[in-house]
With several copies, the nearest count.
Chain A
Amino acid sequence: MFPARYAREMPHRYRLEAHKCKQCGKVFVPRREICDKCGATEFEVIRLSDRVKLVTYTIIHTPASQFKDQSPYALGICEFPEGVRLTAQVVDIDFADLKTGMDLQVEFRRIQTDGHEGILSYGYKFVPVI
């Protein structure tokens, strides 16, 4: 992955920065130029809560090449209290303990070792609440 491309998403992936529409309050990750709810174009940067709810999940048995060393792994969609949802791995949990609606928290983790150039990439994963 080319450095500029990775760096652009760092605020979202590293610090869970989100953009909140100044007019209607809808929250977006990643940032947008225009709100799809009200059409406004002004946003404030907020930090998302790190407590989320699991909306749905799966266990991936045949991943892309850069995730093969982690297979099988759980992947889930979680909802933040701010209304935004994101997709990420659910880790540090037995697959049997996964349950729709459960509380999880968001942690900063290593995501992948990029296939071609071997750059380590970091971002968010979902983990059980301690």
Chain B
Amino acid sequence: MRDVAVIGVGMPKWGELWDKSLRDVFVEAALLALADTKVDKLDNMLIGCMSGGLFVGQEHIGAIMADYLGQRHLAAGRVESACASGGLAFRCAIAEVASGMSDVVLAGGVEKMTDVSGDGATYALAAAADQEYEVFNGATFPGLYALMARAHMEKYGTTRDQLAHVAVKNHHNGTKNPNAQYPFEVTLDQVKNSVMIADPLRILDCSPITDGAAAVIVCPMEMAKDLTEKPLVKVTGLGQATDAIALHSRQDITTIEATTVAAKEAFAMAGKGPKDIDFAEVHDCFTIAEIVVTESLGFFEPGKGGPAVEAGETARGGRIPINLSGGLKSKGHPVGATGIAQIYEIVKQLRGDAGERQIENAKVGLAQNMGGSGASTLVHILEVA
């Protein structure tokens, strides 16, 4: 396969963008990514979007976005893996380029979640779980992660405080991200006393409802120098896996096997292990998710994710900084866009262009994006070229 470089990234401010429609939100991000390169004509475009249908009654997302991006006739499609749709778009774009079928490809992600009521958003998000055997019986998304949280707490002694530390850390990171939806600090007490959603998870354990998009542009490594003036970033590891759609059908609900399998694949391809990763963006849709995922990725032994966040090992300046962008918690979680925003952050860090968020010696970054209660995961490893 051809080596693939990321040559452009774009991400506007996320939030409740009442004045912008689905197409506006996406095009803004895509234009930023194009402006980050010398490219003006794309060969292909793949867009992660979880549910254009349920959120705004609009499917055919590839065609509408190519149209409004002003690239008439552009080959464009939409991909979906629930909240990992963005990660899947990145993978499919890489496949287009690596195969030689296309040269310059935009991988984007978008979700417009505030055009429906809260109930409408709950219904749409629940479509990522087993509609007949989870949702039918009263499961909600926070509820599924709460089931995992209790099991993890009872098995490993993970504490309520440790969950809260994830939120505190990510909101702190988010204060340095001008694109974050909620770029403010939260305290341990605020998290622990916030409104109960699904015991033990409270509202500040949950990522928000967000409108937003992000876009990145990939091309063959040998063309990259001609198409950008920015430092080059190379995709060195890819991994993808699924697991049972229903949480109750998984072998072990205190880990995310899809993440473990996808990470193994990505590590093997990159010739790297968890210890070689300088920083990571992981899918903290709920505080418990970040703890479990840092274990499933191999950054910590099973059960050690909670103590690690409490000890500051995943903070800025810690052993392995996690979610320097603010994560889904602070940055927001427009489901289809999240996986691409992770790539955005990693490229910014690897370029040394992350502003106030920049860490030193960012050479190897990992993105982990998952769908539903962990039934799908995409892992990508990116390195300074």
Query: Is any CB of A less than 8 Å from a CB of B in the complex?
Result: yes
Residues of A within 8 A of B (CB): 2, 4-5, 8-9, 29-30, 32-36, 39, 41, 55-65, 67, 70, 73, 75-77, 85-89, 100, 111-112, 121, 123-124
Beta-carbon contact of B249 and A85 below 8 Å: yes
Beta-carbon contact of A87 and B115 below 8 Å: no
Partner of B146, one of A30, A41, A58, A85: A58
Known: A32-B68, A64-B119, A77-B247. 6 other contacts (CB 8 A): A5-B115, A30-B132, A34-B70, A39-B70, A58-B147, A58-B150
Q: Indicate whether B190 reaches chain A with its CB closer than 8 angstroms.
A: no
Minimum CB–CB distance for A92 against chain B, Å: 15
A-B contact pairs, 6 of them (CB 8 A): A4-B114, A34-B31, A36-B70, A58-B150, A60-B146, A64-B123
Determine the residue in chain A with the shortest Cβ distance to B19.
A8
Q: Indicate whether B27 reaches chain A with its CB closer than 8 angstroms.
A: yes
What is the count of residue pairs linking A and B with beta-carbon distances less than 8 angstroms?
136
Minimum CB–CB distance for B293 against chain A, Å: 18
Determine the residue in chain A with the shortest Cβ distance to B254.
A56
Beta-carbon contact of A59 and B136 below 8 Å: no
Known A36-B67, A58-B150, A59-B198: A2·B137 in contact at CB below 8 Å = no
Minimum CB–CB distance for A22 against chain B, Å: 14
Known A2-B115, A30-B132: A75·B19 in contact at CB below 8 Å = no
Beta-carbon contact of B143 and A55 below 8 Å: no
Partner of A123, one of B71, B137, B247: B137
Minimum CB–CB distance for B12 against chain A, Å: 11
Determine the residue in chain B with the shortest Cβ distance to A86.
B248
Partner of A60, one of B70, B138, B150: B138
Among A9, A62, A88, A121, the most chain B Cβ lie within 10 Å of the Cβ of A62
Minimum CB–CB distance for A93 against chain B, Å: 14
Q: Indicate whether B154 reaches chain A with its CB closer than 8 angstroms.
A: yes
Minimum CB–CB distance for A17 against chain B, Å: 13
Q: Indicate whether B311 reaches chain A with its CB closer than 8 angstroms.
A: no
Beta-carbon contact of B126 and A62 below 8 Å: no
Beta-carbon contact of A33 and B27 below 8 Å: yes
Number of interface residues of B (CB under 8 A): 54
Minimum CB–CB distance for B330 against chain A, Å: 21
Beta-carbon contact of A88 and B137 below 8 Å: yes
Partner of B199, one of A8, A58, A121: A58
Beta-carbon contact of B24 and A58 below 8 Å: no
Partner of A55, one of B138, B149, B151: B151
Minimum CB–CB distance for B141 against chain A, Å: 10
Minimum CB–CB distance for B65 against chain A, Å: 11
Beta-carbon contact of B138 and A33 below 8 Å: no
Q: Indicate whether B133 reaches chain A with its CB closer than 8 angstroms.
A: yes
**Measured CA separation A80–B95 after assembly (Å):** 43
Beta-carbon contact of B197 and A65 below 8 Å: no
Among B24, B123, B136, the most chain A Cβ lie within 10 Å of the Cβ of B136
Beta-carbon contact of A63 and B27 below 8 Å: no
**Measured CA separation A61–B197 after assembly (Å):** 5
Beta-carbon contact of B140 and A64 below 8 Å: yes
Q: Which residues of B contact A4 (CB under 8 A)?
A: 18-19, 114-115
Beta-carbon contact of B132 and A9 below 8 Å: yes
**Measured CA separation A66–B191 after assembly (Å):** 28
The 0/1 profile, CB within 8 Å of A marked 1, for residues 1-32 of chain B is: 00000000000000000111100100110010
Among B117, B154, B198, B253, the most chain A Cβ lie within 10 Å of the Cβ of B198
Beta-carbon contact of B150 and A56 below 8 Å: yes
Among B28, B140, B149, B197, the most chain A Cβ lie within 10 Å of the Cβ of B140
**Measured CA separation A111–B138 after assembly (Å):** 8
